[in-house]
Amino acid sequence: MTTRAKPAQPEPSASQKRRERERQQMRARLLEAARNIAAEDGWNAVTIRRIADKLEYTAPILYQYFSSKESLLIELMMVGFAELTDQLKVAAQTPAPERLAAMAEAYWEFAFTSSELYQAMNGMDGVPFGTAETPLEAKAAFRTLRTALQSIAEARGAELADATGAVDIVWAFLHGCVSLAMAGRVAGGVERAKTLMLNTLEPLFTAQLRS
């Protein structure tokens, strides 16, 4: 088998580039429409027809840009992970003493200000996560949290006993708190849930340090 050069892509013309750009814009508009409907009236109200209506198109237009409704939702999920990653990266820049709380607050704030995305990210089943085809955006969010946790441990002159495990645990804790609070399952309301979460975060993190 001889080592080949690149398949020689025939240099896209100017108008081809424009059309591809417009195509991506249309995809983005469809995603945004779905997201807005979900934010206004919940995910049950997100139908193909309503998405198309919002852009003054007819229903089948969606299939020119996505292979199915589900694939649109999965892509929205990735948008969610990307935005979450951004927020986490901002929080990771706070000074070390408050960095841990800042990360948790960033997660919390994202969940409640973009709750429609948060729901899409966590309510979706059928998306492979453990496997090699885990969405890159999800991996990035995970990596951002890991880096932050490691830096916090380092700033305390310690290190994580199991970096990957620590991220899983912290992530699970944050998600559990948000999940219960969002479902209205915490007596005392959302603010109380947030306080409880922040109070317990510290010992939970300490437990992840090498003994």
Partner DNA sequence: ATCTAATTTCTAACGTTGATAGCCTTCTGG
Partner DNA sequence: CCAGAAGGCTATCAACGTTAGAAATTAGAT
Asked if 64 interacts with DNA (CB under 7 A), we say yes
**DSSP per residue, the chain:** -PPP---------HHHHHHHHHHHHHHHHHHHHHHHHHHHH-GGG--HHHHHHHTT--GGGGGGT-SSHHHHHHHHHHHHHHHHHHHHHHHTTS-HHHHHHHHHHHHHHHHHHSHHHHHHHHH--S---SSTT--HHHHHHHHHHHHHHHHHHHHTT--BSSHHHHHHHHHHHHHHHHHHHHTT-STTHHHHHHHHHHHHHHHHHHTTB--
With respect to DNA, which residue has the nearer C-beta, 27 or 175? 27
List 60, 123, 165, 184, residue binding DNA (CB under 7 A): 60
Among 57, 112, 171, 173, indicate the residue that binds DNA (CB under 7 A): 57
Q: Which is nearer to a second copy, 15 or 211 (CB)?
A: 211
For DNA, the binding residues (CB under 7 A) are 13, 15-16, 18-19, 23, 26, 46-50, 52, 56-64, 68-70
For a second copy, the binding residues (CB under 8 A) are 42, 122-123, 125, 128-131, 138, 162, 164-165, 168-169, 171-177, 179-180, 183-189, 192-193, 196-197, 199-200, 202-204, 206-208
